[in-house]
Amino acid sequence: PKQEVAAAPVVAQAAPVITGTLVKVNVSLPEAAQRAAATGADGVGLLRIEHLILGLQKTPGWYINEGKEDEFIQSLYDGIKVVLDAFPGKPVWVRTLDAPTDEFRNMEGGEEEPVEHNPMLGWRGIRRDLNSPDQFRMQVETFKRLWSAGYDNLGVMFPLVNHPDEFLQAKAMMKRWGVDVENVTLGIMVEIPSSAILIEEFIEAGIKFASFGTNDLVQYTLAIDRNNENVADMYKPKHPAVLRLIDMAIKACRAHGVECSICGQAGSDPSMATWLVEHGISSVSANIDAVPRIREAVARKEKQMILDLARRNNA
Ligand code: PEP
Ligand code: MG
């Protein structure tokens, strides 16, 4: 008998995936984790670890010289864990150490910190870590222990990156130290114009996300010291050159499916958040107190964009 040929299964048309802009929160102290989580934020777009480390009153170099690496790692582990526990199942991007050398000066081990005329342009961020692998390794060991403990919501973000080679070097070091680098979330801050200009190359180098550090991006794009009140009125996050760099980077990230976010202070300004949503940013990370107003600004803009689209489709 002729065998019935089964009709081809009807493949349901997948509904287009509409993902709204996430609203995340910035955290600087573990003590603020509960308050940050209570905002209902979609994750932590920036966990600064400077305060945790500076609070120890000893430099990372001191712990290494004294053979007390485990003490450092344990303190860092405990602090980060508090934040991860407050955001179960939500991404938490922990930024590697980004303190300028002058902030370490008056603590134990501070005498070994280099004396710099301009610490903000000096030995900080990823350059310090690449240049002092022992200090980087203590942080990586902390992350490894957290990943091993099941905290797969932990992502690692590198600050002050200006060339894709820095990201690749950091990744290679982590791999050498036993991190499964292709399966953990590693990303960069875009806070130097060079990293926005080279965003395609960073994407090629394998970043999983990019986050605009506008506090620095503004100062380095406009040559305005972010801490100098004499030029404070010229410090403009919405300067067209800053916006163009951001727009360029968002476009590249979107084209390659890389999450792009903002964690600088400008992300707490509703009008900036509105502009960013309009230009396609994937998430906005704001200060704890600003999360409600940013969520509202984002929702309002998204609603307007959806209605505009619907009207155009019906026209
Ligand atoms: C930034 O530069 O925007 C940023 C978030 O980092 P920090 O303020 O810690 O330099
Ligand atoms: Mg910065």
* Pocket mutation for ligand 1, best pick of 52, 191, 276 (most atoms within 8 Å of C-beta): 191
Q: What is the mean pLDDT of residues 198-204?
A: 98
Question: Measured from the CB, is residue 164 less than 6 Å from ligand 1?
Answer: no
Residue 216: the pLDDT is: 98
Quickly state the pLDDT bin for 315 (edges 50, 70, 90): confident
Check pLDDT > 60 for residue 1: no
Ligand nearest to the CA of 263: 1
**Inter-residue long-range contacts of 294-301, CB under 8 Å, 24+ positions, other chains counted:** 294/23, 294/267, 294/268, 294/270, 295/23, 296/270, 297/270, 297/271, 297/273, 298/20, 298/21, 298/23, 298/273, 298/274, 300/274, 301/273, 301/274, 301/277
Residue to mutate (ligand 1; options 120, 263, 269, 276; most atoms within 8 A of CB): 263
Judge whether 129 and 96 are in contact, CB under 8 Å: yes
Whole-structure pTM over 0.90, yes or no? yes
Q: How confident is the model at residue 17 (pLDDT cuts 50, 70, 90)?
A: very low
Atom of ligand 1 nearest to the CA of 98: 9
